[in-house]
Amino acid sequence: MSTTQLLAPNVTAQHWADPSHPDDRPFIRRYIFSTDHKTIGNQFMFMSLFFLLVGGALAMMIRWQLGWPGQPMPGGGVLPETMAPGGILLPEFYNSLVTMHGTFMIFFAIMPLLVGMFGNWLIPLHVGASDMAFPRLNMMSFWSAVPAGFIMLASFVVEGGAAGAGWTAYPPLSAVPEYSGVSTGQQLWCVSLIILGFSSLMGAVNYITTIVNMRAPGMTWMRMPLPIWSLFITAILILLAIPILAGAAIMLLFDQTIGTTFFLPEAGGQPLLWQHLFWYFGHPEVYILILPAMGVASEVIANGSRKPIFGYPAMVGAIVAIAFLGWIVWGHHMFQSGMNPLLGSSFMLSTMIIAVPSAIKVFNWLGTIWRGDIHFHTPMLNALAFVGMFVIGGLSGVFMASTPVDIYIHDTYFIVAHLHYVLFGGSLFAIFAGIYFWFPKFFGRMLSPTLGKIHFALTFVFYNLVFFPMHNLGLGGMMRRIYDPNQYGFLEPLQPMNTFVSVFALALGVSQLVFFFNILWSLWRGEKAPENPWRSNSLEWSLASPPPHGNFEAMPAVYRGPYEYSYPGRGEDFWLQGEPPDGGAVHAPTGGAPVGEGVPQ
């Protein structure tokens, strides 16, 4: 790869009307209704972490009930009679718990962390822009996500409680209050997701426009950091998938409120139509939840290994391939739904093929750390855990992609284990890696490495003790979303394993407090962050921490790809993308040994 040639600029100078300057906006414009992408990224972080806590608390209650069925939950006495009389969780409240745990984690924690937070933090800085293409739209995107979240949260206190038909909201259960016992809550669920859909769409058009139009001179497509590639493809997925969810949610809301029967068979509606629409959105959504995590992990792994990413073009190609294939696999959620079995065969084929680009990514991450010089900073530990856990989540996916095996494991805890290996072991570990990595850049303070490593170790161990045994629970036949497995004789022998899982789930929940404490403590007391604490290459690391309003003083120029680590003959083992080839001081090698073996292959 040429590292010196400055390719034709695709951005002209008139885009640079807004050089960085001191921020003199009043408090409210600066911190609350801000149009600065960095502030909006921070806001998405705080909002999503709040909902991560909410979703986590709901998970703790679920695990309490499964670990000690029918026992009064410690502290459960504060819940109203309609949820937990005497601290004993009611079955209808349990259904709301599983529904809202999934809903909050997917739509209000993982998705806004990956897309809202990383997208806002990274896109303008990584491409060398002063802000997003549409800063006000960006502000509106955040400020419509907030009410959506609080509408969802408020549904717990309306009459009938929160939605209880699962995060997938299959009608007729979700459409008819007499069936679920929930009316207003189920409607608020639709309303909230429709509003959140607008938020996501405003973000997506912004990301796409910014990446296409606002790259600094020299920032060619194949010099973009991988988080930007993954966020670009993710934004396209969002733009195409979210309207389908919003449309389906509007149809469901009409079925609930004004007497339409899109999904109700009495008047010719079709319950399976919802499943097709939901999963036609829902499977791209799965990749919306993992592609940015892959991008972030790639960035951190190259940095921690002090090595260029292995096979950059293949990594980009794999992102595109996964995103494309993601559109033609939705039927694998419906193998047992009554869909034509021959359709099942074709969906099995397309689903299995997704394993190929996923495998390419895993092997290329391995190739990146191979012959590296691995620094185990906190972001790197989390990124390595991401790879290890994503492998398990990916491989367990092969089981349910196989239609005959899926007959048995569909709707069991095997699925629960799989999806948590992907969404927690995959997405969340990458989110941790990214927050440890970029927090210093956006808050000007380092997160405590000691607390970071304690948090990582506890999370990694407890996480596996919680979710690995769930594979066995599923193979034992335990269904998802059941309030009390002991209703079934054949599930009674699994109770000790359920209790084991619950013990470590509570421990996993408590150990996340280390992370939240680290953030709050470091915001005020953390060590001041230098410009480039991780000796990394992309454009933001040549700016102050935090970067000033408007980011760059002058239009940055980009001279090389983002992963020029350990370039032979340079003194330092990193090479900023914006450092001119002749302007950078070339020091004597500090590593001692001459760089001999590191020639490009």
Partner 1 sequence: MPEPASTFGAGIDSIYYIILWITGAIFVLVETALIVFIIRYRHREGRVAAYSHGNKKAEIVWTVIPFILVLFIVYASNDIWLEVKRADQGGAAPADALPLRVVAKQFEWNVTYPGPDGELDTADDFVKRNQLHVPIGRAVRIDLGSEDVIHSFFLPDFRVKQDAVPGMTIPVWFEATRTGEFPLACAELCGLGHYRMRASLTVHEAADFDLWQSQEIAASGSPTGASEIDTERANEAEISEGEESA
Restricted to residues 69-108, the positions that interact with partner 1 (CB under 8 A) are 82, 90-92, 95, 98
Give, as ranges, the residues between 304 and 323 that touch partner 1 (CB under 8 A): 305-312, 314
Q: Does 497 bind partner 1 (CB under 8 A)?
A: no
Asked if 457 touches partner 1 (CB under 8 A), the answer is: no
Stretch that binds partner 1, among 111-119, 136-144, 540-548, 567-575 (CB under 8 A): 567-575
| Residues 140-159 contacting partner 1, CB under 8 A | 159
Which CB, 20 or 402, lies closer to partner 1? Answer: 402
Positions in 417-446 near partner 1 (CB under 8 A): none
State in angstroms the smallest separation of the CB of 192 from partner 1: 19
Residue 521 burial by CB count (10 A; 0-12/13-18/19+): exposed, middle or buried? middle
The smaller minimum CB distance to partner 1, of residues 342 and 588, is found at 342
Q: How far is CA 124 from CA 130, 220, 278, 481, 559, in A?
A: 6, 14, 32, 42, 17
By the 10 Å C-beta count (0-12 exposed, 13-18 middle, 19+ buried), 85 is classed as middle
User: Does residue number 403 form part of the binding site for partner 1 (CB under 8 A)?
Assistant: yes
The distance of closest approach from Cβ of residue 6 to partner 1 in the complex, given in angstroms and rounded to an integer, is 20
Rounded to the nearest 10 degrees, the angle between the axes of helix 495-525 and helix 449-475 is 160
Which of 20, 209, 270, 499 forms a contact with partner 1 (CB under 8 A)?
Answer: 270
- Which of 298, 382, 396, 551 lies at the binding interface for partner 1 (CB under 8 A)? 396
Candidates 476, 530, 548, 584; binder of partner 1 (CB under 8 A) is: 476
Q: Distance between CA atoms of 582 and 554, rounded to whole angstroms? A: 19
Q: Roughly how many angstroms between the first and final C-alpha of the chain, as a whole number?
A: 11
CB nearer to partner 1: give 192 or 364.
364
179 binds partner 1 (CB under 8 A): yes
Look at the block and give the residue holding tokens 């979710």: 467
Is residue 484 involved in binding partner 1 (CB under 8 A)?
yes
- Contact status: 359 vs partner 1 (CB under 8 A): yes
Which 502-561 residues touch partner 1, going by CB under 8 A? none
Quick one: which of 166, 509, 533, 584 contacts partner 1 (CB under 8 A)?
A: 166
Question: Are the C-beta atoms of residues 462 and 504 closer than 8 Å to each other?
Answer: yes
For 172, 216, 223, 292, the CA distances from 123, given in Å and listed in that order, are 42, 12, 13, 12
Q: Write down how long the chain is.
A: 601
Nearer to partner 1, 54 or 415 (CB): 415
> 87 or 166, CB closer to partner 1?
166
Which residues make Cβ contacts (< 8 Å) with residue 199, sequence separation at least 6? 141, 142, 144, 145, 148
477 touches partner 1 by CB under 8 A: yes
Kindly tell me which of 349 and 457 has the beta carbon lying closer to partner 1: 349
CB of 574 to partner 1, least distance (A): 11
| Interaction of residue 598 with partner 1, rule CB under 8 A | yes
State yes or no: residue 259 binds partner 1 (CB under 8 A).
Answer: no
Establish if 324 lies at the interface with partner 1 (CB under 8 A).
no
Stretch of 32-40, 345-353, 512-520, 530-538 lying at the interface with partner 1 (CB under 8 A): 345-353
582 is an interface residue for partner 1 by CB under 8 A = no
Among 284, 344, 550, 556, binds partner 1 (CB under 8 A): 344
CA-CA distance, 325 to 89, in Å (whole number)?
41
Smaller CB separation from partner 1, 41 or 474: 474
CA distances from 393 to 189, 273, 351, 420, 436 (A): 28, 28, 14, 8, 23
Output the CA torsion 165→168→171→176 (10° steps).
30
**Which residues have CB under 8 Å from 464's CB, separation 6+?**
none
Task: Return the closest-CA partner of residue 390 out of 320, 478, 322, 309.
Answer: 322
Q: Which is nearer to partner 1, 180 or 192 (CB)?
A: 180
Q: Which is nearer to partner 1, 26 or 596 (CB)?
A: 596
The answer to whether residue 408 forms part of the interface with partner 1 (CB under 8 A) is yes
State which of positions 361-390 bind partner 1 (CB under 8 A).
362-364, 366-367, 369-376, 384, 387-388
Q: For residue 95, give both structure tokens.
A: 């259904």
Q: Nearest approach, Cβ of 493 to partner 1 (angstroms)?
A: 11
Q: Which of 235, 392, 430, 539 binds partner 1 (CB under 8 A)?
A: 392
Least distance in Å: CB of 179 to partner 1? 5
Look-up of token digits 């941790």:
432
Instruction: Give the residue, chosen from 11, 79, 106, 165, that forms a contact with partner 1 under the rule CB under 8 A.
Output: 165
Structure tokens that stand for 590 in this block: 């500090």
Give phi and psi for 510, each to the nearest 5. Answer: -65, -40
Our finding on whether 2 is near partner 1 (CB under 8 A) is no
Name the residue among 96, 77, 98, 250 with its Cα closest to residue 158.
Answer: 96
Q: How many CA atoms lie within 13 A of 74 on its CB side?
A: 4
Residue type, 325: L
Contact predicate 202/44, CB 8 Å = no
Q: Does residue 391 bind partner 1 (CB under 8 A)?
A: yes
